[in-house]
Amino acid sequence: MLRKIRVAAAIVAFSLVTLLFLDFTGTIQAWFGFMAKIQFLPAILAMNVIVVLGLLLLTLLVGRVYCSVICPMGVFQDIVSWISAKRKGKKARFGYSPEKKVLRYAVLALFVVLMLVGLNEIAILIAPYSAYGRIANTLLAPIWAMGNNILASLAERADSYAFYTTDVWMKGLPTLIIAVVTLAVVSVLAWRNGRTWCNTICPVGTILGFASRYAIFRPVIDTNKCKDCGLCAKKCKAAAIDFKNHSIDYSRCVDCFDCLENCNSKAIDIKNRLKEKSTASASAEAQQNCQSQNVDAGRRGFLIGAGLLAAGVAKAQKDKKVDGGLATIIDKKVPERQTPILPAGSWTAEHFAQHCTGCQLCVSACPNGVLRPSSNLNTLMQPHMEYDRGYCRPECTRCSEVCPTGAIKPITKAEKSSIKIGTAVWHKQNCVVLTDGVECGNCARHCPNGAIVMVPSDPKNPESHMIPTINTERCIGCGACENLCPSRPYSAIHVEGTEQQREI
């Protein structure tokens, strides 16, 4: 029974977390966004004391239920392991192995150190929820979106507006590669040995192991009933049951309850530790230190000397033919930015780099094609903004709503309209007003803050075509100007990010 409840709960939780990454309409996020926020590591980074204490207390009470139900990476491994068992036709394929304490603690220590010195981009490779997020975002979401697009084209034929088309595109190659490698490693480990990853590498597993070691309710083998058949050990995907000694390693047990279900002699049952006088050790060492974020200096090398923008404006100077036809449109290229642009609410690059675990949830949620994972080694997998496909629209605050780690702090639409995330810079050599001799002002028309003021290109001639000037005091860096600039492939106006976001 317990096992069935566990499986059902795991399926629900796993589906919801996965859907968070797949749903680009924002509907699931509005209802079940909390599924990301109750993940352990993001909650620590967000300093969400209630969630962290809650999870630790839960673990202290009933063991690592978290790993079997809430953590999508845990459930994913169970799925792989289940398929493996089906394929191999072996129902009992595991066996006890002693805890590899040195490895576990060394990996955890390394993880904490890396996080503290600011080498998050390496540490987060093994953060379970984020690693799963990267898999879901880079590998599953495109398939989901393509499926949606098929439905959208069907809906269009039926004159229905139930589905709309969404863009499917590759957001970042390094992140995709990392996701594929992670998927391969975790799958192989799970295929062969169940929860190896959770009990040797996963830092969250190790931390929760400290608490679950002293869990109040835990499975216990009744030596009177046990027939020493060893079936439980063979069914234990955590390799935690030492049936010869009738002991279970609770730091590795993930509360899957498979042993309870499979014991033919009903020798394993959940017992209350407090009612057993023998082991009444005070077990309140559970509180793990929430990692406070030391500001560490001198971490990120600045990008120096970004070259001038290539000014290749290829304008289709066709003979004007009447009666139809469409001019070809060259794709926009991303300009080199000296400072990357981060979403409003990340406040400082430092804060952002130290809190973001690169789970890609914001990238999944961004409806404007702006957010994408960085390919820069210092900020690998962490999102940044580009305006070649869209711009940061004034009515949208989705990334700040979904971020589970507090890397992007929640902001309101009103706040967003005054948070400066960058500043627009005009490039005379690309501006169509000067290159094509036409009127334009599309940047000024779309600036949500009125930060672009059009002035005559020839100061002596007030009748001359107007060119844009940027009021940097008003510009918030949303990128409407850059995205909607007619100059292609490089815009005549681009946004430089800021190290320190501020309200203006």
Q: Which residues bind other proteins (CB under 8 A)?
A: 156, 161, 164-165, 315-329, 393-395, 432, 436-442, 445-446, 484, 486
Query: In angstroms, what is the minimal distance from the CB of 248 to other proteins?
Result: 55
- Looking at the Cβ atoms of 364 and 487, the one nearer to other proteins is 487
Distances (CA, A) of 492 to 151, 332, 394, 456: 38, 11, 22, 17
Gap between the Cα atoms of 426 and 491, Å rounded: 9
Instruction: With beta carbons less than 8 A apart as the criterion, state whether 443 and 451 touch.
Output: no
Query: In angstroms, what is the minimal distance from the CB of 393 to other proteins?
Result: 7
Name the residue among 13, 66, 7 with its Cα closest to residue 41: 66
Query: In angstroms, what is the minimal distance from the CB of 155 to other proteins?
Result: 9
- Looking at the Cβ atoms of 28 and 432, the one nearer to other proteins is 432
Query: In angstroms, what is the minimal distance from the CB of 504 to other proteins?
Result: 20
Cβ-based burial of 460 (10 A; exposed 0-12, middle 13-18, buried ≥19): exposed
Pairing of strands 371-373, 241-242: unpaired
Query: In angstroms, what is the minimal distance from the CB of 440 to other proteins?
Result: 4
**What are the tokens at 164?**
């709309």
Q: In 426-438, which positions are buried (b, 16+ CB within 10 angstroms) versus exposed (e)?
A: bbeebbbbeeeee
- Looking at the Cβ atoms of 269 and 415, the one nearer to other proteins is 415
**What are the tokens at 179?**
């996701």
- Looking at the Cβ atoms of 160 and 287, the one nearer to other proteins is 160
Compute φ and ψ for 398, nearest 5 degrees: -60, -40
Name the residue among 44, 188, 65 with its Cα closest to residue 130: 44
Q: Considering just the CA atoms, what is the radius of gyration of the chain in Å? A: 27
Gap between the Cα atoms of 129 and 436, Å rounded: 51
Query: In angstroms, what is the minimal distance from the CB of 60 to other proteins?
Result: 46
Query: In angstroms, what is the minimal distance from the CB of 6 to other proteins?
Result: 40
**What are the tokens at 177?**
């590669």
- Looking at the Cβ atoms of 339 and 368, the one nearer to other proteins is 368
User: Angle at which helices 203-212 and 49-62 pack, to 10 degrees?
Assistant: 60
Query: In angstroms, what is the minimal distance from the CB of 102 to other proteins?
Result: 55
- Looking at the Cβ atoms of 50 and 323, the one nearer to other proteins is 323
- Looking at the Cβ atoms of 11 and 484, the one nearer to other proteins is 484
Gap between the Cα atoms of 406 and 396, Å rounded: 17
Q: 332: helix, coil or strand? A: coil
What are the residues facing 341 on neighbouring strands?
Answer: 385
- Looking at the Cβ atoms of 90 and 413, the one nearer to other proteins is 413
Gap between the Cα atoms of 400 and 396, Å rounded: 9
- Looking at the Cβ atoms of 275 and 320, the one nearer to other proteins is 320
Measured from the Cβ of residue 477, the count of other Cβ atoms closer than 10 Å reads 28
CB proximity list for 33: less than 8 A, separation 6 or greater: 20, 401, 402
- Looking at the Cβ atoms of 196 and 400, the one nearer to other proteins is 400
- Looking at the Cβ atoms of 300 and 389, the one nearer to other proteins is 389
Gap between the Cα atoms of 149 and 24, Å rounded: 12
Query: In angstroms, what is the minimal distance from the CB of 217 to other proteins?
Result: 48
Query: In angstroms, what is the minimal distance from the CB of 334 to other proteins?
Result: 16
- Looking at the Cβ atoms of 236 and 478, the one nearer to other proteins is 478
Query: In angstroms, what is the minimal distance from the CB of 433 to other proteins?
Result: 9
- Looking at the Cβ atoms of 220 and 447, the one nearer to other proteins is 447
Q: 389: helix, coil or strand? A: coil
Gap between the Cα atoms of 366 and 386, Å rounded: 12
Q: 275: helix, coil or strand? A: helix
Query: In angstroms, what is the minimal distance from the CB of 327 to other proteins?
Result: 5
Query: In angstroms, what is the minimal distance from the CB of 138 to other proteins?
Result: 23
Name the residue among 220, 225, 123, 138 with its Cα closest to residue 174: 138
Counts for the chain of helices (H) and strands (E), in that order: 23, 10
Instruction: With beta carbons less than 8 A apart as the criterion, state whether 424 and 436 touch.
Output: no
Per DSSP, which regions of 342-465 are E strands?
A: 371-373, 383-385, 419-426, 452-456
